[in-house]
Amino acid sequence: MVDVLGQLAGGFGAALSPMNLLMAALGALLGTLVGVLPGLGPTAAIAILFPLTTVLPPVPAIIMLAGIYYGAMYGGSTTAILLNIPGEVASVPTCLDGYPMAQQGRGGIALGIAAIGSFFAGTLGVVGLTFFAPFLADQALRFGPPEYFGLMVLAFTVVAGLSGGSLVKGLSMAVLGYFISLIGLGPSTAEPRFAFGWAPLMSGVDLIALVVGLFAISEVFLGLEEQRVAIATTIRSVFPRLADLRQAAPAILRGTGIGFLLGLLPGCAPGVTVFLAYDVEKKISRHPERFGKGAIEGVASPEAANNATSSAGFIPLMALGIPASPPLAVLLGGLLVYGLQPGPLLFQKNPDFVWTVIASLYIGNLVLLILNLPLIGMWVWLTRIPYGILGPTILLLAFLGAYSVRNSMFDVAVSLVFGVVGYFLRKYQWPLAPLLLAYILGPLLEKYMIQSLSMSGGSGMIFLQRGMSLALLVAAGILLVTSLVLVRYTSRRVKQETAEEMAL
Amino acid sequence: MHAAGAGQGKVVGGILVLLGILALVEGVRLHALRTEMVAGAVVGDDTFPLIVGVALLLLGGAAVLVRLPSAKVTIPRGPVRARMLWGLALLAIYWLIVPSVGYTGSTALVSVGLFRTMGGYRWPRSLLLGALTTGLLYLLFRVWLLQPLPTGWLGY
């Protein structure tokens, strides 16, 4: 405990340096800026802004990325409340009561409650990260290749949670992601795979080019097709009255509890917990008939659950290297770009980095609250920018972003191709998150499997003979079943509320 | 608007099966290479392509045969489709001309085109927006991020 606090203090020392503080604020600002653009969720926001961080050293870059993540999450709730447009499925419940509140002229209060709930839940999630992640990482230090393989299999249970209601679609996308990750040099002999003698393919498909194509370029075309238009909204005050706070506080607490505890499970995305939090709140309310008509608890609880799950998701991400949601998968990719492999060894090899990032998460949450409440007028103004300006600007940014990472026109071509592929996949509701997750985790699964099988002389029994490895595989099975049950529940709820199917 | 169920499954399933065959062919090539290069090794660079190949074949088959949840899909038509195709075409042109025309010139040309076709603005406004965007992106990528962008024949 004392050790953790000491390391956290050291982290704060570094995170409070002017450069890191600036990056946390800039990340929160940029993330909110992109997040408030109608239809752009946190994954697309991180994908678009990711290339801007690549010129920075690892610590400020990851701090900025985390700020972008938090900012985009909050920005998503702004469009959900003011425009009834959920950037991602996690914002759907916020629309249910947030938009009616905005129609009643209480949009500012809904935004204020969302900001306060997000801050509270986000901070509590980071407290959990501070104390729980090092413990988890410490346990995982005893892992050998078979245990890591079990861990990677556990991570793949996330695919079920991200499948958007069809396991065949989710698994197909995951294996496709795997296939893409195989392109390049083989890990054992450095023999080119799937390159067919063409030099650009030998260095593989770049993560940023893939993400920019799948999540940013495809998003612009979907937005163009939906003919998104700006809507005029006026905001009076974003500071809730004491009575509002009193009404929302228990809902924030319950949403935080549900979001945090379920967020610890790999495979439980915010899309799942927000609906659970909303339904619990409605069920225990003395006036359930107010829900859907502008109940403040209907905004407070899912917003708190969303941020608690997002923050809790950092625990399996940092301690075990398992991302629980698409934006965290992109963040994991960001860490890998900097040569930092999240997992137990990260705490051993790069403690300064880990604790600086954790400290910056506290700061990022606070910065977000400080910035967002006074700047809400500016965010509202941004939602009025016509899509005819936004679309081309995002495309140009995406093009240059894909180029700038490796200064490669091949990467730009890759992002354009995946932009088109992503557009059709999203249109026909083939989930992209499993593809991304498998692309990122695939090489690790391959590495640990090959190491394990080399140890055992080719016998797969090695995974069942070692206690921890077996336990992880059993846990993966249990989590898979739990995820499927939760996904079925959430898919049904999303369909009820939006008459659509959405990837979680 | 139409419900797409079996159709999308057949298309994606077919692509997955083709990729599966490709993975198996590559896996067999790598297997032969491994047995030749690393005597005695039981696993290697061929192992995962073979596993992924089999998985792609199975899932491709499942996507074709299993009834997938139907999705209501609207195929864009008329001016919307034209705007989307123009956007895509301009990006492809951008990709083609950046190395020769250079970053600044090609960005100016393409951004004006994008605002004109995708945004539907008149020429004067498209020119203004294009010039503004080119300037801002130049500041961001060239001045702030110090990115080495292609200079082309024009030298900038």
Tens digit of each residue's pLDDT (9 = 90 or more) over A328-381: 888 887 788 787 888 778 888 888 888 888 898 898 888 888 877 788 778 777
A190 near A394, Cβ under 8 Å? no
What pLDDT, on the 0 to 100 scale, is given for residue A503? Answer: 53
Tell me the per-residue pLDDT of B34-91, one tens digit each, with 9 for 90 and over.
888 776 777 888 999 999 999 999 999 998 888 877 667 788 888 889 999 999 999 9
Give CA–CA dist A193/A376, Å, rounded.
50
Q: In this complex, which of B16, B114, B149 lies closest to A172 when CB atoms are compared?
A: B16
The torsion region of residue B10 among left (phi > 0), alpha (psi -120 to 50) and beta comes to: alpha
pLDDT at A84: 77
Alpha-carbon distance of A145 to A283, in angstroms, equals 46
A199-238 per-position pLDDT tens digit: 889 989 988 888 889 888 888 888 888 765 555 566 667 7
Q: pLDDT per residue over A101-133, tens digit each?
A: 988 888 888 988 998 998 899 898 889 889 888
Instruction: Give residue A296's pLDDT.
Output: 93
The SS3 call for residue A478 is helix
How far is it, in rounded angstroms, from Cα A241 to Cα B100?
60
* Domain count along chain A: 1
Distances (CA, A) of B30 to A189, A439, B19, B24: 10, 21, 16, 10
- Give the whole-angstrom CA distance, residue A474 versus residue A490: 24
Q: Residue A454 burial (CB < 10 Å; 0-12/13-18/19+)?
A: middle
Which two structure tokens, joined as six digits, stand for A393? 């600007």
Q: Quick check: A389 and B137 CB within 8 A?
A: no
Residues A184, B26 contacting (CB under 8 angstroms): no
User: Tokens for A417?
Assistant: 């191709």
Take residue A248 and report the two structure tokens written for it.
């929302």
Residue B112 touches partner A, C-beta closer than 8 Å: no
Low pLDDT (below 70) residues in chain A: 1-2, 38-40, 87, 158, 160-165, 227-236, 266-268, 491, 495-504
A9 domain-assigned: no
Q: How far is CA A170 from the centre of its chain?
A: 17
The answer to whether residue A441 is domain-embedded is yes
Task: State residue B1's pLDDT score.
Answer: 45
Does some domain include residue A8? no
Please tell me if residue B22 touches chain A, with a CB cutoff of 8 Å.
yes
Task: State residue A401 phi and psi, 5-degree precision.
Answer: -65, -45
Contacts 24+ apart (CB under 8 A), A240-249: A240/A109, A240/A112, A240/A113, A240/A116, A240/A296, A241/A109, A244/A109, A244/A112, A244/A113, A244/A296, A245/A113, A245/A116, A247/A296, A247/A297, A248/A113, A248/A116, A248/A117, A248/A296, A248/A297, A248/A299, A248/A300, A249/A300
Number of C-beta neighbours around residue A110 at 10 A: 33
B41 Cβ under 8 Å from any chain A Cβ: yes
Q: Which of residues 73-92 of B touch A (CB under 8 A)?
A: 73-74, 76, 80, 83-84, 87-88, 91-92
Decide if B59 and A168 are in contact by the 8 Å CB cutoff: yes
> Could you say which of B42, B69, B148 has the minimum Cβ distance to residue A501?
B69
pLDDT tens digits for range B83-128 = 999 999 999 999 999 999 998 999 999 999 999 999 889 999 999 9
Q: Which residues pair with B3 in a beta bridge?
A: B72
DSSP string for chain B: -EEESHHHHHHHHHHHHHHHHHHHHHHHHHHHHHHHHSTT-SS-TTHHHHHHHHHHHHHHHHHHHS-PPPEEEPPP-HHHHHHHHHHHHHHHHHHHHHHHH-HHHHHHHHHHHHHHHTS---HHHHHHHHHHHHHHHIIIIIIIS------TTTT-
Residue A298 resides in a domain: yes
Residue B85's pLDDT is what?
A: 93
**Residue B4 pLDDT > 60:** no
Cβ burial of A199 (10 Å; 0-12, 13-18, 19+) is exposed
Residues of chain B with Cβ-Cβ distance to A386 below 8 Å are 119
Q: A189 in helix, strand or coil?
A: coil
Instruction: Answer yes or no: is A278 within a domain.
Output: yes
Closest chain A CA to residue B7: A428
pLDDT, tens digit (0-9, with 9 covering 90-100), for A263-276: 777 656 777 788 88
- Give the span between the Cα atoms of B51 and A167, in whole angstroms: 19
Q: Taking CB atoms and an 8 Å cutoff, what residues of chain B touch A168?
A: 59, 62-63, 66, 68
Task: Flag whether pLDDT at B150 surpasses 80.
Answer: yes
A1 in a structural domain: no
Within-domain flag for A287 = yes
- CA distances for A367 relative to A152, A239, A416, angstroms: 34, 17, 35
Question: Are the beta carbons of A108 and A238 closer than 8 angstroms?
Answer: yes
Residue type, B136: L
Which tokens in the block code for residue B147? 């990115």
Range of the structural domain that residue A276 is part of = 23-141+148-231+238-498
H or E, element range at A39: none
Are the C-beta atoms of A442 and A177 separated by less than 8 Å? yes
Compare all CA atoms of chain B with the CA of A56 and give the residue at the minimum distance: B145
B12 vs A172, A396, A458: nearest CB: A172
Helix axes A387-406, A409-427, angle to 10 degrees: 130
The pTM for the full model equals: 0.81
Contacts of A420 in chain B (CB under 8 A): 88
Q: Other C-beta atoms within 10 Å of A316: how many?
A: 27
Cβ pair B59:A175 closer than 8 A: yes
Short-list A57, A32, A87, A59, CA closest to A378: A32
Give yes or no for a contact between A97 and A295, defined as CB atoms under 8 angstroms apart.
Answer: yes
CB A69 within 8 A of CB A42: yes
With 0-12 / 13-18 / 19 or more C-beta atoms within 10 angstroms meaning exposed / middle / buried, residue B24 is middle
Whole-angstrom distance, CA of residue A364 vs CA of residue B31: 50
CB atoms within 10 A of CB A485: 11
Q: How high is the ipTM of this complex?
A: 0.92
Domain annotation covers residue A6:
no
Q: What is residue A91's DSSP assignment?
A: G
A409 interaction partners in chain B (CB closer than 8 Å): 95, 98-99, 150
- Number of A:B CB contacts under 8 A? 179
Higher pLDDT, A308 or B2: A308
> Which residue is closest to B20 within chain A, CA to CA?
A179
Is A395–B147 a contact, with Cβ atoms under 8 angstroms apart?
Answer: no
Residue of B17, B34, B45, B93 to mutate, testing the A interface (most A Cβ within 10 Å of its Cβ)? B45
